[in-house]
Structure 1
C-alpha cells in the first residue's frame, strides 16, 4: 500500500536555549530533520510534507537539501500538534494509501517499526506507536487500552493519578488513511490545559465515530525526542553506539569501536578496517578491504577497495581514491582523484587535481590551486614521479611518466617522459661557512 508522510517541524525548541530551530541541531553530523526525511524515504512514499514554523525558511532550505521533492507548508501560528497537522491537509489532496504523522526531532525510529504499523493498519483504522516508559513518572501522554483496543490518549498534564500510573506511553507517531485523516483533524478542539489542538485527540474522535484504533510498540530509545542540549548529547551517544553496532554486524572491523565517530550517512564495506580515533563526517563511502588508519578525518570522500588512508590523513569533499591508492601521514586531499596504486605518503596537499595510476607524490608536494580569485586544476599522468617539495602551480599538466626534481617550482606543463627542474642552480663557496661563523662569533663576544 502506498504511504505518505507529514513531518511536524514547526517548533522553536525553547529549551534548547538556541536561536537555531530545534530540527536543525545535528546528530551524526546531519540536522534532525534529515533523519526524519531519511526515515520517510525508506518507505518510498508518494508524498512527504514538512510543516515548518519558527525560522521556517531555514528549515525549508535544509529539508529541500535532504529531499528536493519534499512539500513545504507553513504553520504561521503554533497552536499545537493537531493544528500543525491540519496545515498539511491541503497538500494531501488527491493522494491515497496510508499517511504517517511523525516529528522532525525524533531521529531513532526504525523503518521496521513503521512497517509494523502499516501491517497493523490492515485490521485497524488508526494505529499509534507506543512504548513502555522506564520511568513511571515520565511526563508522556498515556495510552488508555481496553484489551487490544486503544480507547484514548491522555496528555500527562490532563491525566489523573490513575491514568498517570499507566506505563504504556505515546510516542506521538500515528498512521491512518490519507482520506480519513483530514476529517478526523477537522473535529479537533482546544479545550485542554494548554488551549492547544492536540493531534492525540483524534483517537477519541475516531472511536466515537465507530472506528478501530490499535497500538504498535517499540523500544523507548526509538521514540527519543530532542528538546534540550542534554537530550541532544544523549542522542549523539545513542546514534554512535547504533552506528558502531551496525558496522560490526555488517562485517566491518573496528579495532577500537568506541573511538570511531560515524556520520549520518557513513557507508563502510565488508572487511574494511577502521583503526582507532577515526572521524567520518558526512558523505563518506569506504569500500570493502580498504583500511582507514588512526587519527584520520574523512568528509565527502570515496575510498576504493584496498586503498589505505592515514594515519593522520584528511580527505575533504570531492576526494576520490582508486583501488590500492595510499594517502599517508599528514596528507590532505580535496576535490581530487588519486589513481590506482598511486602513493602520496607524507606531508602533501593535493587539491583540485587529477592524479593518474602508479604515480608517486613525494613528501612536501603542493598543488597550488588558488590564485586569490579562481581555483585551477592540476593534472598528473600515470607512472609520474613528483619529487619531494615540488610546488605545482596550476593550471598545469604533468604527462605520463613525467618527473619533477625535488624542490622544484613547476609553472609550465611537463611533457610525457620529461624531467622538469624548476629551482635555482646551487653555488658553492669553499671555506666561506667557517669564515662566516667565525665572524659572527666574534661579533657576539663583543656584545
Structure 2
C-alpha cells in the first residue's frame, strides 16, 4: 500500500528536477534576448530623439520579422527531442541541421525583401520625416543579421531538443555583453551613430550564430551526422513549421487588435496599455520557460515510446504552471503601487492601468496552464491542432475586443477580453490534452 504513493513521489521529484534543469536556463536565455533592444535604446537614446524614434520603428519591424519565424525553434525542438528519446542521436542532429538550412534560406529571402522595401516599410509605420532616415539606415543594416538571428532560433531548438538549455543561456548572455560593448565602441568610438548600433547588433548576432553552429557541427561529427543540405529534410521542416507559423501569426494579430482598440480609447488608455503589455510579456517569459521544458521533455518521452511518462510529465508541468501563475499574480497585485511610477507620473494613466493590472494578475494561473499545455502539444508535434485552435481563439477575441469602445469599460474591459482569449485557449488546449490524441509515440509523428 505504501509503495504506490512512494513511487508517485519519486516520479514527481524526477519530473521536478527535469523541469527545473531545463526551465531555469531557458528563462535566462529568454530574458537576455530583449536586452539587445534595451541596450541599443539606451545607447542610441543619447544621440537624439529622432535617432531613438528611428530605432524604435526599425526594432519593431525586425522583432516582428524574427518572431514570425519562431517556429524554427519550436518545430526543431519537438523533432529533435523525439529522436533523442528514441536513442537516435545521429538522426536527431541531422533533423536539426535541416532546420538550420531552412533558417538560412528564409533569412536570405527576408533580406531580399527588406533591403529594397525598407523606405516603404518605415513609412507604413508612420515614421516622421526626421526619424525615417535613421529607421531606414538601422533597418537595412540590421536586416543583414536576420539569417544569423534565424540560425540562432533553429540551433536553439536543436540544443533544447538535445535537453540542453544551458548553452543557449551562456550564448545569449555573451551575445548581450558583446552587443553592448560593440554598440558603445561603434556608435561613439568610431562615431558611426545609429549605423554603428546596427552593425554592433549584426556582429553580435553573427557571433552567436557562429558559436551555435560550432556546437552543432561538433555534435554532428561526433555522431556521424551529415551536414549537407537535404531537400526532403528541409521540406519536412518547413511543412512542420507551417501550422506553428499560422499559430504565431494569429497570436500576433490578437496583440495588434488589442493595441489598435486601446489606441481608440484615448491617449491615457494606450499609454497604460503599453505599460501593461510590457509587463504581460515579461511574465510570459517565466511561464514560457516551463513550456520550453515541456517541449523537450514531452518529445523525449514520446520518442522513447513512454506514453504514460509523457502524461505524468504533462500533469506535473500543469501543476507547475498553476503554482508559478499564482505566484506571479500575487506579485503583480502587491507591486502595483511601486511598479506604475517607474513608467509614468500621469494620474490618468495610473487610473486606467490599476484595475486592468488586477485583471492581469487574476489571469496568471490561466496563463500558466495555457503556456504549459501549448508547450506539451508542441513537443508532441501537434502543430495542426494548435493552428486551428488559435484561429478559433482569434475569431472569438476579435468581436469581443472591437465591442469594447462601444460598450464601455475602457482598458479594464479590453484586458477582460484578453483574459477571455486566454480562457478560450485554455479550453481548446485542455480538451485536446484530455482526449489523448496528442500521445503519438515513436521517433517521428
**Under a length normalisation based on structure 1, what TM-score does the superposition of the two structures give?**
0.23
Higher strand fraction: Structure 1 or Structure 2? 1
Higher helix fraction: Structure 1 or Structure 2? 2
Between structure 1 and structure 2, the one with the greater Rg is 1
Higher relative CO (Cα under 8 Å, sequence separation at least 6) belongs to: 2
**Under a length normalisation based on structure 2, what TM-score does the superposition of the two structures give?**
0.23
